[in-house]
Amino acid sequence: MIAHPASLVKGNRGNPCIFPDSLFMGWTCPARKWYDEAIKGGIHMDMIKMGAFLQELRKEQGLTQEQLGEKLHISSKTISRWETGTYMPPVEMLQVLSDLYAVSMNELVAGERLTPETLPQAAEKNLAAALQNNTVFQLFERKKYWQEKWLADHRRTIALLVGILCGSILLSISIRRTDLTFAIALVSMGLAVFLRNRRDGYVEHHLYDEMLQ
């Protein structure tokens, strides 16, 4: 079983995050060499350090958490969780952040800027593959990320629907049409189920379908 990222910090602070040896089966020698050098060099999977580095990079760009969230189409709450080390960004977001901040994915994970001698660029693809295979990210965290992204993308639509339904209910009550109030309540429940199914379909597509392509 893969350990939760937070446990790698709380339970093993000061010790490197150890990837299983089976992860390197079929990998090229440079990948294994990078891993060995990273451990010897004391590179840790320190979530707090990584979060602080993400915050530093964001501020260098002159962005607030809200502005960055709008750029990435996610909530500012998610950005805050990344920067406090609550959990790591999904691998697809690491790639986006890498381009946005002009740093490598290895540097993002290490939580600092690195020289080629410290962490060879040849290991970049191997690190991405390790993350994609859930070495760091558990399915639960990827699912939570896509749920929050869907909500961020549809919050205006949801707010509009809620406003319309609330207004309709108040109107039906004011004109004493209990039958209409009941009908609106049923429509509200139906819409809630519909939106939840749309969200779940969106999440499942990103969790499973894209992995099979």
| CA separation for the pair 104, 94 (Å, rounded) | 9
Tokens standing for 116? 């080629």
Question: What pLDDT does 210 receive?
Answer: 53
CB 101 within 8 Å of CB 109: no
pLDDT at 64 over 90: yes
CB 16 within 8 Å of CB 43: yes
- What residue type is 129 in one-letter code? A
Who has greater pLDDT, 16 or 79?
Answer: 79
Residue holding tokens 């609106």? Answer: 184
pTM tops 0.85, yes or no: no
* pLDDT confidence bin for 61, thresholds 50/70/90: very high
Radius of gyration of the chain (CA): 22
CB 123 within 8 Å of CB 105: no
Apex 10 CA angle, 92 and 101, nearest 5: 30
- Cα 207 to Cα 98, 142, 143, 150, 203: the distances in Å are 21, 7, 7, 13, 6
Question: What pLDDT does 111 receive?
Answer: 84
CB 50 within 8 Å of CB 109: yes
Q: Phi and psi of 27, rounded to 5°?
A: -80, 160
- Cα 49 to Cα 33, 78, 111, 151: the distances in Å are 24, 17, 5, 28
- Of the candidate ranges 56-60, 85-89, 109-113, 207-211, the one whose mean pLDDT is the lowest: 207-211
* pLDDT confidence bin for 171, thresholds 50/70/90: confident
Q: Would residue 102 be called left, alpha or beta, if left means φ above 0 and alpha means ψ between -120 and 50 degrees? A: left
| CA separation for the pair 35, 141 (Å, rounded) | 24
